[in-house]
């Protein structure tokens, strides 16, 4: 079995003479570099006892020789070649970036993050404007609308999402009815569970949950798709051919999500009401017919209009943030992931903020 | 860690380092009866190939003849339908032991066509990835020195170490990929189209670099290329892939002596003759 890298020292004129033995390779190095550093002045390095040497071994020898200004002797032909290759280049090779102190980096990060939020907001507004201009140009130049692309996205964003959104809304309907009933029963008002489920679903929750689901499902997909297209230079290729990426990639996606949101929102509301109805029937002994009858009495049309007004706005928001984030991807694959995350976070955040504004607005115009 | 444990670990390391001994083999890679199929498309049909230790073997062939698939089969990224592949007497198929497979993998470095650098790591960190994986106990100081040394070895500029792959030019990405492939001082180096996408000056420098590194480190090189200049400048022997097999292996003069139409067209086409002419001029100097 071949020996581990080792050395023996003997005293000579002007310092120790080090004689290496065994295999001077990375696999056999062990703690040799540390022990070598611990030695005093070294006058000579003898490689005649070395069985084999690799680039790391050659580096250690060169480093030690340079540090102590020592002679190297007894190198085999193989070792000679490796040492020669090292001796030629004396420039300083850097490995790490310059690092600043901790507090400076923290301060810098805080500043970058704050500026980033501002840039992101300005960027989204800017992008939205650019998209509107592209839409305007497309309509005025009477260029054909890309129905195929819109329909493909419609399928992906809307039709494919039906099962999951339906199931989610149905379960949420059950949860609201059950929690509401527990509280209202205390006053003997469990029939008001219907009011709770009906109005909450139509006006707020159905659409809000749908928007969150679409942002997670499709906003992220937009960002990842477009980001990958940016990396593979597909977007640049489009520009050189004369196809506007806004027109070909962004508009169909935003259009699809805008059209889809009211439909999905309504569908989700109905599913939630169905969930509440099933619970009322089984848990509260309210027959389905009574349930529906009561819903017709208590849900005002304004709730429905409120939902229909909010839905396309949320759709635009999700589409625009997704596409914008995708378009911001530069450089590398990690960026795609980062931008996708930020697309979803920004979309959900903005949807909830806007929903709050809408709620205040609608109640102040008397749509209670 | 107690002294006993440390001793045990060192013994284990030594033992495992013994498992594969490249210097004992005349034939580094032995491929026998390799069959690769994708659906109905047969890429390799009972392909045989030997790569001798210490040589630079150029692998040429038209597009779609399965040069990259052959390389991927040898390094275990593609599982062939049939056939045997032995690298230093060991076959990846029959190695059941994870340790043994790691031993084998440590003996080779692969440079992919696009560099395949990890985009979230700097060049120096890319080079340190294999080192950390196989030698977790090497301290950071030495790792940094090794990375700096490899950066110098492949001819990257001194400030390339801390840069990220996205900040590098095409030629620098290839050199960085080569540096990572060489991180563990492999005995066997796989290069997939090393000069593709480089300008002629960069490509010529890269050819010279490969030759120089192979001589310095005593490497066996499996080199896939389309570049005739690379063949003339670096390769000891050339294997020609066509008709789902290796139809000929030999030095360029030997190949020129064969009658096969594809080989004749390849080496005696306008580009082939130009490369040969340049090589003769270069040799006369």
pLDDT band at B266 (very low <50, low <70, confident <90, very high): confident
A227 CA: distance to closest CA in chain B (Å): 15
For chain B, list the strands marked E by DSSP: 27-38, 41-52, 56-61, 82-87, 90-91, 108-111, 188-192, 220-224, 237-242, 245-250
On chain B, the residues whose CB falls within 8 A of the CB of A95 are: 124, 144, 147-148, 151, 161-162
Residues A60-98 as b or e (16 or more Cβ within 10 Å = b) = bbbbbbeebebebeebeebbebbbebbeeeeeebbbeee
Q: Are A306 and A367 in contact (CB under 8 A)?
A: yes
Residue showing tokens 């340049």: B278
Q: Residue by residue, what is the 3-state secondary structure of chain A?
A: CCCCCEEEEEEECCEEEEEEEEEECHHHCCCHHHHHHHCCCEEEEEEEEEEEECHHHHHHHHHHHHHHCCEEECCCHHHHHHHHHHHCCCCCCCCCCCCCCHHHHHHHHHHHHHHHHHHHHHHHHHHHHHHHHHHHHHHHCCCCCCHHHHHHHHHHHCHHHHHHHHHHHHHHHHHHHHHHHHHHHCCCCHHHHHHHHHHHHHHHHHHHHHHHHHHHHHHHHHHHHHHHHHHCCHHHHHHHHCCCHHHHHHHHHHHHHHHHHHHHHHHHHHHHHHHHHHHHHHHCCCCHHHHHHHHHHHCCHHHHHHHHHHHHHHHHHHHHHHHHHHHCCCCCHHHHHHHHHHHHHHHHHHHHHHHHHHHHHHHHCCCC
pLDDT value of residue B3: 59
Residue from A58, A76, A95 to probe the interface with B (highest B Cβ count within 10 Å)? A95
Q: How confident is the model at residue B184 (pLDDT cuts 50, 70, 90)?
A: confident
Count CB neighbours of A146 within 10 A. Answer: 17
Report the gap between the CA of A54 and the closest CA in chain B (Å). 7
* Residues A82, B216: C-beta atoms closer than 8 Å: yes
Q: Are B193 and B231 a contacting pair, CB within 8 Å? A: no
Whether the predicted pLDDT of B208 surpasses 80: yes
Location of structure tokens 């929903």: A355
**Whole-angstrom distance, CA of residue A252 vs CA of residue A149:** 6
Chain position carrying tokens 């749509």: A367
Shortest Cα distance, chain A CAs vs residue B192, angstroms: 20
Give which of B69, B111, B71, B98 is closest to B87, Cα–Cα. B71
Nearest residue of chain A to residue B150 (CA atoms): A55
Q: What CATH number was assigned to the domain covering residues A6-88?
A: 3.30.750.24
The residue count for chain B: 285
CB B149 within 8 A of CB B201: no
Give how far B159 is from chain A: nearest CA, Å: 6
- Say yes or no for a CB contact (<8 Å) between A92 and B158: yes
B9, pLDDT greater than 70: no
Identify the pLDDT of residue B95: 72
Q: Which of A4, A95, A334 shows the shortest C-beta gap to B124?
A: A95
Residue A89: list chain B partners with CB under 8 A. 152
The per-residue pLDDT for range A29-66, each reduced to its tens digit, is: 778 888 888 877 888 888 888 888 888 888 888 888 88
Please compute the mean of the pLDDT values over residues B155-173 and round it to a whole number.
Answer: 87
Give the Cα separation of A55 and B30 in Å (integer). Answer: 27
Interface touch A334/B162, C-beta < 8 Å: no
- Number of Cβ pairs < 8 A linking chain A and chain B: 88
Nearest to B149 among A2, A27, A59 (CB): A59
Q: Which B-chain residues 202-261 have CB contacts (< 8 A) with chain A?
A: 215-218
Q: Name the residue of chain B whose CA is nearest to A80's CA.
A: B216
ipTM of the complex: 0.72
Question: What is the pLDDT averaged over residues B154-181?
Answer: 88
Q: How far is B163 from chain A (nearest CA, A)?
A: 8
Residue with tokens 């490969």: B210
Chain A residues closer than 8 Å to B131 by CB: 26
Fold (CATH) for B3-283: Rossmann fold (3.40.50)
Q: Cα–Cα distance between B216 and B234 in angstroms, integer?
A: 14
Confidence at B8, pLDDT banded by 50, 70, 90: low
Question: Residue B154: pLDDT band by 50, 70, 90 thresholds?
Answer: confident
- Is B18 in the A-facing interface, judged by CB distances under 8 Å? yes
Flag whether the pTM goes above 0.80: no
pLDDT per 10-residue tile (average), chain A, 368 residues = 73 80 81 81 83 84 83 82 73 77 91 92 94 91 85 94 96 94 89 91 93 95 94 87 88 95 96 95 92 92 94 96 93 87 94 95 90
Indicate if the pLDDT at residue B1 is higher than 50: no
Residue B19 has pLDDT above 60, yes or no: no
* A93 to B164: CB separation less than 8 angstroms, yes or no: no
Indicate yes or no: CB of A97 within 8 angstroms of CB of B122.
Answer: yes
> What is residue B190's three-state secondary structure?
strand
Q: Which residue of A has its CA nearest to B209?
A: A85
The position carrying tokens 């759709």 is A315
Q: Is residue B264 exposed (0-12), middle (13-18) or buried (19+ Cβ within 10 Å)?
A: middle
If phi > 0 it is left, if psi is from -120 to 50 it is alpha, else beta; for residue B65 that is: alpha
Chain B nearest-CA residue for A333: B119
What are residue A115's phi and psi, to 5 degrees? -60, -35
Q: Closest approach of chain B CAs to the CA of A154, in angstroms?
A: 33
CB atoms within 10 A of CB B208: 13
Mean pLDDT highest for which of A219-233, B59-73, B126-140, B246-260? A219-233
Helix/strand/coil for B62: coil
Local confidence band at B21 (pLDDT 50, 70, 90 cut-offs): low
Q: How many CB atoms lie within 10 A of CB B75?
A: 19
What is the CB neighbour count within 10 angstroms for residue A125?
Answer: 12
CA nearest B182: which of B223, B204, B228, B214? B214
Instruction: Kindly list the distances between the CA atom of residue B188 and the CA atoms of A15, B21, B96, in Å, as whole numbers in the listed order.
Output: 40, 12, 22
**Which residues in chain B are contacts of A2 at CB distance < 8 A?**
14, 18
Asked if B165 lies within 8 A of A94 by C-beta distance, the reply is no
Give me the mean pLDDT over the B86-107 stretch. Answer: 78
Tell me how far apart the alpha carbons of residues A72 and B178 are, in angstroms, rounded to a whole number.
Answer: 29
How many C-beta atoms lie closer than 10 Å to residue A284's C-beta?
A: 18
Q: In chain A, which residue's Cα lies nearest the Cα of B21?
A: A2
> Shortest Cα distance from B39 to chain A (angstroms)?
27
| Closest chain A C-alpha to B1 CA, distance in angstroms | 14
For chain B, give every domain's residue range.
3-283
The residues of chain A that CATH labels 3.30.750.24 are: 6-88
Smallest CA–CA distance from B157 into chain A, residue: A93
CB contact under 8 A, A55 and B185: yes
A64-78, A275-289, B70-84, B125-139: range with lowest mean pLDDT: A64-78
Q: Which residues touch B277 (CB under 8 Å, ≥6 apart)?
A: none
Which residues are within 8 A (CB) of B236 and not within 5 positions of it... i.e. 6 or more apart? Answer: B55, B56, B57, B251
Q: Which helix (H) or strand (E) holds B135?
A: none
**Can you say how many angstroms the Cα of residue A303 is from the centroid of all Cα atoms in its chain?**
35
CA distances to A25, A52, B2, B8, B10 from B5, in Å: 22, 27, 5, 5, 9
């Amino acid at each position: 079995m071949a020996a581990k890298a080792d050395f023996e020292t003997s005293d000579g004129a002007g310092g120790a003479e080090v004689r290496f033995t065994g295999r001077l390779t990375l696999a056999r190095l062990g703690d040799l570099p540390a022990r070598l550093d611990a030695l005093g002045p070294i006058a000579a390095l003898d490689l005649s006892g070395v069985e084999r040497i690799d680039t790391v071994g050659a580096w250690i020898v060169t480093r030690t020789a340079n540090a102590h200004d020592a002679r190297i002797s007894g190198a085999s032909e193989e070792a000679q070649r490796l040492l020669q290759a090292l001796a030629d280049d004396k420039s300083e090779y850097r490995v790490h970036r310059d690092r600043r102190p901790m507090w400076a980096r923290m301060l810098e990060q805080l500043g970058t993050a704050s500026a980033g939020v501002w840039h992101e907001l300005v960027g989204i507004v800017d992008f939205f404007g650019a998209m509107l201009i592209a839409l305007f140009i497309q309509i005025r130049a009477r260029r054909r609308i890309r129905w195929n692309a819109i329909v493909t996205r419609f399928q992906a964003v809307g039709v494919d999402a039906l099962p999951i959104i339906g199931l989610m809304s149905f379960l949420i309907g059950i949860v609201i009815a059950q929690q509401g009933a527990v509280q209202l029963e205390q006053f003997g008002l469990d029939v008001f569970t219907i009011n709770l489920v009906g109005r909450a679903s139509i006006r707020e929750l159905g659409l809000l949950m749908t928007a969150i689901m679409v942002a997670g499902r499709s906003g992220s997909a937009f960002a990842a798709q477009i980001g990958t297209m940016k990396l593979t230079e597909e977007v640049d290729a489009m520009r050189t051919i004369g196809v506007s990426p806004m027109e070909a990639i962004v508009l169909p996606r935003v259009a699809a999500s805008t059209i889809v949101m009211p439909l999905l929102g309504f569908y989700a509301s109905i599913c939630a009401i169905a969930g509440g109805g099933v619970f009322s029937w089984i848990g509260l002994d309210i027959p389905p017919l009574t349930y529906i009858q009561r819903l017709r009495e208590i849900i005002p049309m304004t709730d429905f209009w409120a939902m229909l007004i909010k839905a396309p706005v949320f759709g635009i928001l999700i589409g625009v943030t997704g596409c914008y984030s995708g378009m911001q991807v530069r450089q590398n694959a990690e960026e795609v992931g980062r931008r996708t995350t930020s697309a979803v976070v920004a979309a959900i955040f903005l949807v909830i903020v806007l929903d709050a504004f809408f709620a205040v607005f609608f109640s102040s115009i008397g749509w209670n | 860690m107690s002294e006993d444990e440390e001793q045990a670990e060192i013994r284990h390391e030594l033992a495992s380092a013994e498992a594969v001994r490249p210097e004992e083999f005349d034939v580094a890679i032995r491929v026998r009866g390799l069959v690769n199929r994708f659906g109905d498309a047969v890429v390799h049909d009972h392909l045989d190939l030997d790569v001798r230790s210490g040589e630079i073997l150029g692998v040429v062939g038209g597009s779609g003849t399965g040069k990259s698939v052959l390389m991927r089969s040898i390094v275990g990224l593609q599982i062939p339908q049939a056939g045997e592949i032995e690298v230093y007497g060991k076959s990846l198929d029959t190695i059941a032991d994870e340790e043994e497979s790691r031993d084998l993998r440590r003996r080779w470095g692969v440079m992919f066509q696009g560099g395949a650098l990890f985009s979230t790591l700097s060049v120096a960190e890319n080079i340190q990835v294999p080192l950390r994986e196989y030698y977790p106990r090497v301290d950071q100081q030495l790792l940094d020195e090794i990375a700096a040394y490899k950066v110098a070895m492949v001819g990257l500029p001194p400030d390339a170490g801390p840069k990220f792959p996205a900040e590098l030019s095409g030629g620098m990405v290839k050199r960085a990929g080569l540096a990572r492939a060489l991180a563990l001082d492999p005995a066997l180096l796989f290069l997939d189209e090393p000069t593709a996408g480089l300008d002629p000056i960069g490509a010529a420098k890269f050819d010279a670099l490969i030759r120089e590194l192979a001589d310095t480190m005593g490497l066996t090189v499996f080199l896939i290329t389309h570049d005739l200049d690379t063949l003339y400048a670096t390769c000891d022997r050339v294997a020609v892939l066509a008709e789902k097999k290796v139809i000929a292996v030999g030095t360029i003069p030997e190949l020129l002596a064969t009658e096969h139409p594809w080989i004749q067209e390849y080496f005696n086409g306008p580009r082939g003759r130009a490369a040969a002419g340049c090589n003769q001029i270069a040799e006369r100097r």
